Structure 1
Amino acid sequence: MDATAKPIKPALVVEPEVQRPTRAEAEAAVKTLIAWAGDNPEREGLLDTPKRVVKAYEELYEGYRQNAHEILSRTFDEVGGYDDIVFVRDIPFFSHCEHHMVPFVGKAHIAYLPTEGVVGLSKLARVTDVFARRLQTQETLTAQIIDAINDALNPRGAAVMLEAEHMCMSMRGIKKHGASTITQRFTGVFAEETAEQQRFFSLLNMQKS
């Protein structure tokens, strides 16, 4: 292979499109759930609730209508020869547990070692939201974020850690408020070299100025 040729980036897997109900059908479903919960969907305070819920769902689950590869498609090569770690930590996110449809809220920490330029820092936060604003498990969310970074940027390595509190544990079930769940995944040199993993954790734990 020509030493100057850039490797071909693999394409992200495209998920099959789901047939969405109409807005009227979605509002009727909310009305049914209100009645099932034990309240009267026809009382004044709840009359417009189905419309509000459906409108809120459009925002809470907007990730289904977004494309992570498009967000990461623009990179910048003029970085003064910089080829060391890029690390964005404490990216706030919220998602919804696919088992109970209640929120989990936390922070994402993302690092990568560039090979073909860097991506705008805000794009890492946007990619986190693309996958977080869907029905999720934290484990799947972690994997999807790092896979998108690897597929789009082809870095020498990437690292993603998520820490979150799950309302399905805090609000229901065992009702243990404050419990934190941590998931992480390393690829490339972060997976192969202990020193790079240690550097990731060192930067993660640095005192903020």
Structure 2
Amino acid sequence: MSQNVGAHRSRVASHSTPPVPETVDHEKIEQAVRMILEAIGEDPDREGLIDTPKRVARMYQEIFSGLHSDPAEELSARFHVDHDELVLVKDITFYSACEHHLLPFYGLAHVAYLPANGTVTGLSKLARLVDHVAKQPQIQERMTNTIADVLHNTLNPQGVMVVIEAEHLCMTMRGVKKPGSKTVTIASRGLYETNPEKQQQVLRMLHLEV
């Protein structure tokens, strides 16, 4: 089998991004944070907490910025090349928030696609797509499906496969309290959905063969 595989490893968690637009109601968040602090028996006016409501509002503006824009915009740069075999960008670090408890889940995303008619996008665009989709409250399963759907619907490749491995703080610091446990989710489209051998090829490269 040909090994003409465009595989790329990315362990850079951050990259240059434009300023986050004003997309949240800072005043409401600040009021809500003050109420929460009071409800747990804290004094929101003490020295260590006096600016916490403002800090939390700015944080939510940043980490939930993916709610207010189209992730497909990250794939606007497309090219035509003489390549119709697997493209895989693996180990893309990400941070997101569980919608059930608003606690973080974080880990690695692996994004693979099989180009059609030589249409590809920049490798960094796949990492940007993961970052964009991650910035909203959600469950891991939906995040995995969203990345796969955006890539499949935008590039129209022969197939798409997205694998996410993540640790959830709602399972680490509360509830069952199992630090180090990982959740793995997979979304397949096109040939990776209908051809088990194609899917296993990607899983073997990720050492996740089942």
Which of residues 51, 60, 63 in structure 1 aligns to 2:63? Answer: 60
Which of residues 118, 121, 128 in structure 2 aligns to 1:126? Answer: 128
Which secondary structure does the structure 2 equivalent of 1:99 belong to?
A: coil
Aligned-residue Cα RMSD (Å) equals 1.4
Deviating 4+ runs (over 4 angstroms):
none
1:191 matched to 2:205: no
| Residue 69 of structure 1, CA deviation | 1.4
Partner of 2:84: 83
Contact (CA 8 Å) 2:24, 2:61: kept in 1 or not? no
Which secondary structure does the structure 1 equivalent of 2:206 belong to?
A: helix
Amino acid at match of 1:31: R
Which secondary structure does the structure 1 equivalent of 2:102 belong to?
A: coil
| Residue 202 of structure 1, CA deviation | 2.0
1:136 matched to 2:138: yes
Residues 156, 30 of structure 1: alpha-carbon distance in 2 compared, 3 angstrom cutoff: same
What are the superposed Cα offsets for residues 76-119 of structure 1, whole Å, 9 maximum, x if unpaired?
11x2x111110001111111000000001110011001114110
Which secondary structure does the structure 1 equivalent of 2:42 belong to?
A: coil
What are the superposed Cα offsets for residues 25-83 of structure 1, whole Å, 9 maximum, x if unpaired?
22111111111122100111111110111011111111113321111122011x2x111
> In structure 2, what is the Cα distance between the partners aligned to 1:22 and 1:105?
26
TM-score (norm 2): 0.84
> In structure 1, what is the Cα distance between the partners aligned to 2:27 and 2:194?
52
Amino acid at match of 2:25: T
In structure 2, stretches of 5+ residues that fail to align are 1-22
Partner of 1:104: 105
> In structure 2, what is the Cα distance between the partners aligned to 1:197 and 1:97?
27
Number of residue-to-residue matches in the alignment: 185
Which secondary structure does the structure 2 equivalent of 1:158 belong to?
A: strand
Which of residues 21, 43, 47 in structure 1 aligns to 2:46? Answer: 43
User: Which entry has the higher C-alpha Rg, 1 or 2?
Assistant: 1
> In structure 2, what is the Cα distance between the partners aligned to 1:65 and 1:187?
25
| Residue 21 of structure 1, CA deviation | 6.5
Identical counterparts, % of pairs: 44
Which secondary structure does the structure 2 equivalent of 1:47 belong to?
A: coil
Partner of 1:114: 115
